[in-house]
Amino acid sequence: MSDCNYYKVGGSLEYQHPTYVVRKADSELYEGLLNGEFCYVLNSRQMGKSSLRVHMTKKLKAQGVKCASIDMTRIGSHVTPEEWYGGVVSELLRGFSLSRKVNFSNWWRDREMLSPVQRLSEFIEDVLLLELSRIIVIFIDEIDSIIKIPFRDDFFAFIRACYNQRADNSDYQRLTFCLLGVATPSNLIADRNLSTPFNIGRAIELTGFKLSEAKLSLTQGFVGKVNSPEDVLAAILTWTEGQPFLTQKLCKLVVEQVATNVAADGVTDVTDRFVEKDKVFGETDNSSATSAKESVATWVEELVRSHIIDNWETVDEPEHLRTIRDRILWSPRKEQLLLLYRQILQHGEVRAKDTPEQMELRLSGLVVKQQGKLQVYNRIYGSVFNLNWVDEVLAEAGLLLEELETPTSSQTEIQALEQMANEALQLFESQQIEALLLAIQAGQRNDQSLELIRAAVS
């Protein structure tokens, strides 16, 4: 593997890829699935969900567990129930290498008097559990693609039924599922009264890389190129907060930039060049460890600004920042998301309440929940999607409302309006009230909505 190809930007990492970072989620998911728990990994895009699935599959198989993965995008969403459930069974036959034992076309056609979900249930009980005698784990990736399917609740009810069957049929104790995707449980379930697997499942949280987790894997690509690989990685993490895609991208940029500088200067000893000429990557006799780290931080900051932040819409390859932008701007809740995000930028954080708007903003990847607070995920996001960007988008969309900070709107009045909106929100849980509250907290208001709230709480 060449130096510049050591890091991989975008896409899932194959098993035993040298830059795969083992996180807390790895041990939690491994433990949960071995114990037969229904697990789900729901997070924003490019957080390493598919890479986790690949590595978890190999690790479980090494313990004798039978695993198969279904990528829901392979089945599609504009299909009939017959086609969709048939696709699921076909994928399971392929994933568990049972295609030669079971003629799918004949098996499926012989049961056409049954509903599609009944056929799937029969396949699990009469084929999968009989043919496979070990623990069985079914990974369902890109589960968010199921949101467009009107009959999706039947599928989640089927998964829940598999767990209920454990009381009557001990073979079902060997079967478990793991769902992965960009969604929340409430997004996935249409019927709020449905008894779902999420009620009994285990949520696996994917967080950004910590230095202690990442240094073993991610510093190896810097060896022989910089004096202090760990300091370079630490400087990178101050910008990415361990977001996997951005961390891989910045590591790769460091290696590429070093190679470019070496080629331009004709220097073969990379470490000496940076120590003696730029004083970036290590200490000299005249500098302390602190000043060396500061030099590293300065060099990394220049790299971040020149190659990621400046002109970001042009240099965003592979696409990442534009994906975040589009997820927000194409949302039906665009106004609420922007006002909520504006509030977070202004105050640094807001209390996490897991409202639909907060959950959607978290799924964009732009913000993260930390110790009961919502905050911007990292410095790169905060620099790209700053207050100027938010206000420009609001103005372009005609959403920028009247400023509260006027001679007739004192801070006391603002606080009173905020309290009034909060009281109304607790009483009525209206999206309109939630949107107005965000507007008030962001320094904006809509007088027509305000009159409705005054009437509601009077």
Axis crossing angle, helix 447-457 with helix 411-428, rounded to the nearest 10:
60
For 84-98, 210-224, 428-442, which range has the lowest pLDDT when averaged over its residues?
428-442
pLDDT tens by residue, 325-344: 999 999 999 999 999 999 99
- Predicted pLDDT at 223: 94
User: What's the rounded mean pLDDT across residues 94-112?
Assistant: 97
- Predicted pLDDT at 157: 96
Residue 19 pLDDT more than 60? yes
> For residue 231, what are the CA distances in angstroms to 20, 90, 128, 292, 423?
19, 49, 51, 9, 49
d(CA 329, CA 397): 10
DSSP 8-state assignment for residue 247 = H
Q: What share of the chain in percent tops pLDDT 70?
A: 80
> For residue 270, what are the CA distances in angstroms to 248, 263, 304?
21, 10, 20
- Predicted pLDDT at 432: 58
Task: Answer for the pair 4, 19: CB distance below 8 angstroms, yes or no.
Answer: no
- Predicted pLDDT at 44: 97
Q: What share of the chain in percent tops pLDDT 90?
A: 76
Confidence of residue 273 (pLDDT cuts 50, 70, 90): very low
- Predicted pLDDT at 397: 79
User: pTM of the predicted model, to two decimals?
Assistant: 0.85
Q: Which CATH superfamily does the domain covering 24-203 fall into?
A: P-loop containing nucleotide triphosphate hydrolases (3.40.50.300)
Average pLDDT, the chain: 88
Residue 430 pLDDT more than 70? no
Comma-separated ranges of CATH 3.40.50.300 domains in the chain: 24-203
- Predicted pLDDT at 385: 99
Residue 407 pLDDT more than 90? no
User: What's the rounded mean pLDDT across residues 372-389?
Assistant: 98
Residue 295 pLDDT more than 70? yes
User: What's the rounded mean pLDDT across residues 66-95?
Assistant: 97
Q: Which run of H or of E encompasses 374?
A: strand 373-376
d(CA 202, CA 213): 23
Alpha helix ranges (H) inside 330-367: 334-347, 356-364
Residue 117 pLDDT more than 50? yes
The residue among 1 and 111 whose pLDDT is bigger is 111
pLDDT tens by residue, 169-212: 999 999 999 999 999 999 999 998 888 899 999 999 999 999 99
- Predicted pLDDT at 145: 96
Q: Which run of H or of E encompasses 169?
A: none
- Predicted pLDDT at 195: 80
Residue 457 pLDDT more than 50? no
Confidence of residue 277 (pLDDT cuts 50, 70, 90): very low
Burial class (CB in 10 A: 0-12, 13-18, 19+), 447: exposed
Would you report the helix, strand and coil content of the chain in percent, each value rounded to 5?
A: 60, 10, 35
**Which residues of 43-192 form beta strands (DSSP E)?**
66-71, 136-141, 175-181
* Two structure tokens written together for 271: 């470490």
The residue among 416 and 88 whose pLDDT is bigger is 88
User: What's the rounded mean pLDDT across residues 56-66?
Assistant: 98
- Predicted pLDDT at 292: 82
